[in-house]
Amino acid sequence: MAEIVEYTAERYFGRGGRPRVVQDMLGESPCWDHRTDTLYWVDIAGMAICSYEDQPKKLSRWQIGEQLGFVAVTDDLNVLIFGGAGGLSLFRKADGHITRLYHPEQKVHPNNRFNDGKIDPAGRLFAGTMDMHKPRKEGVGALYCMQCNKLKKVEAVGPVTVANGLGWSPDNLTFYHTDSPTRSIRAFSFDIRTGAVHGPAKTAFTVAEGVPDGMCVDSEGFLWVANLRAAQVLRVNPTTGHIVARIRLPVPLVTSVCFGGPYFRTLFITTAMGTTDADIAECTDANAGYVYAVEVDIPGMPMSPLKLDGREEWLAGGGSLHLGRVGILAREVMALLGTHDAPRSLEDSQDVQPVSEKYVDDITQEPVWDKTPVCLREGGILSWVRPSSERPTLQ
């Protein structure tokens, strides 16, 4: 067997920059938009969508108000799609407008949320669900495909417990999917014309230690697998199941990966402080929760955007809300409002208005990235936001 190629990942600060970033509680789902040189990811426990735009250097964090599983780009540069406890939703970056699309398991499995999701090369969304409470129920999750404004269950994958890493081979003939508790990645036949996934499934790889989490596929068809609780990312030959390369990280909870950067030779890696509230609260690891990056020898492939068929109907429809992106000092807001009330269910909030610019400006002193989330109230409506900045100072 050939020798395993070894890499070491380092904290990602962008080219020539060192932004003041928030340490994610549970970073996940990195996604590179090659059209704007922007890296997106989510903080599941922090309930936020994050982005770093390389040119010009711009770090953003949008507080969404629910546990998130993934974020992906669309064919509209101003619109993202994300999945989480509230189902599948569109997010408009310019004004924080959120449009609810689908929540297929709300009545059958109310404790389920969307976890990992990705766009296939034809512009369809594939996203899976899981029970978000522990002890976690087995086999109550599923994989879904969204195209042409319709959502359908991918029956070939069957019931899953924690729908996780997914990807496609360079020839688009194979679809890979991970159900983390099984510790295995399965390979299915795939029809790029229709988006159909066919069994029987074959086991492409089973991890010997830790848990397989997020993954991506490079231009040679090899899998790059985030190895949760093992402080590493593995490059795997899906035909033989052999490990051919390894990326070492200084943090055990390695959650997901994606290719990006110039020529798609940069592998971005998200990490976590913990996977439960208790773990996060007790975490003392200064390296945990940050985005890491490493230059690799084999390039990846561009991530396709979601095709927004009927976008006018989606973005103008009801059942939407607005969440402002603001920079404020938490202690001042809490002193003014005197509240830690929890927000209403997003399902009950049909028209949540953003906090006015004037009000925010009155209590803003400077960009702050390391304060706790605060609750802003206007007209009886609650929105959770995390102190943030349009353009943080680069150190």
Active site residue 95: no
Are residues 309 and 168 part of one domain? yes
Question: Given 313, 336, 370, which residue is the final one in a domain?
Answer: 313
Are residues 267 and 195 part of one domain? yes
Give domain status of residue 318, yes or no. no
Give domain status of residue 129, yes or no. yes
List 95, 213, 361, 370, catalytic entry: 213
pLDDT band at 311 (very low <50, low <70, confident <90, very high): low
Determine the Cα–Cα distance for residues 179 and 234; give it in Å rounded to an integer. 17
Are residues 124 and 271 part of one domain? yes
pLDDT tens by residue, 74-129:
999 999 999 999 999 999 999 999 999 999 999 999 999 999 999 999 999 999 99
pLDDT tens by residue, 337-390:
333 333 333 333 333 333 322 222 223 333 333 333 333 333 333 333 333 333
Give domain status of residue 393, yes or no. no
What is the CATH number for 27?
Answer: 2.120.10.30
Question: Given 263, 278, 313, which residue is the final one in a domain?
Answer: 313
pLDDT tens by residue, 6-22:
999 999 976 655 555 66
Please count the structural domains in the chain.
2
Q: What is the pLDDT of residue 134?
A: 86
Question: Given 313, 347, 375, which residue is the final one in a domain?
Answer: 313
Quick check: 170 pLDDT over 80? yes
Give domain status of residue 390, yes or no. no
Amino acid at 137: K
Give domain status of residue 210, yes or no. yes
Average the pLDDT over 23-39 and give the result.
Answer: 96
Please, are residues 273 and 253 in contact by the beta-carbon 8 Å criterion?
yes
DSSP 359: H
Identify the residue with better confidence: 272 or 380: 272
Are residues 302 and 367 part of one domain? no
Are residues 129 and 97 part of one domain? yes
Please state whether 268 falls in left (phi above 0), alpha (psi between -120 and 50) or beta.
Answer: beta
Average the pLDDT over 37-49 and give the result.
Answer: 97
Are residues 148 and 70 part of one domain? yes
Give domain status of residue 307, yes or no. yes
Phi, psi of 72 (to 5 degrees): -145, 160
The verdict on pTM exceeding 0.95 is no
Question: What letters, b where the CB count within 10 A reaches 16 and e where it falls short, cover 165-201?
Answer: bbbbbeeeebbbbbbbbbebbbbbebeeeebebeeeb
Q: What is the pLDDT of residue 13?
A: 74
Are residues 331 and 209 part of one domain? no
pLDDT band at 56 (very low <50, low <70, confident <90, very high): confident
Are residues 131 and 213 part of one domain? yes
Are residues 179 and 149 part of one domain? yes
Average the pLDDT over 269-278 and give the result.
Answer: 93
pLDDT tens by residue, 184-231:
999 999 999 999 999 999 999 999 999 999 999 999 999 999 999 999
Work out the percent of the chain whose per-residue pLDDT is above 70.
76
Provide the domain limits for residue 54: 5-313
Give domain status of residue 145, yes or no. yes
Determine the Cα–Cα distance for residues 350 and 292; give it in Å rounded to an integer. 38
Give domain status of residue 391, yes or no. no
Determine the Cα–Cα distance for residues 112 and 69; give it in Å rounded to an integer. 11
Are residues 254 and 233 part of one domain? yes
Are residues 206 and 78 part of one domain? yes
Alpha carbon 256 to its chain centroid, in Å, reads 9
Are residues 356 and 288 part of one domain? no
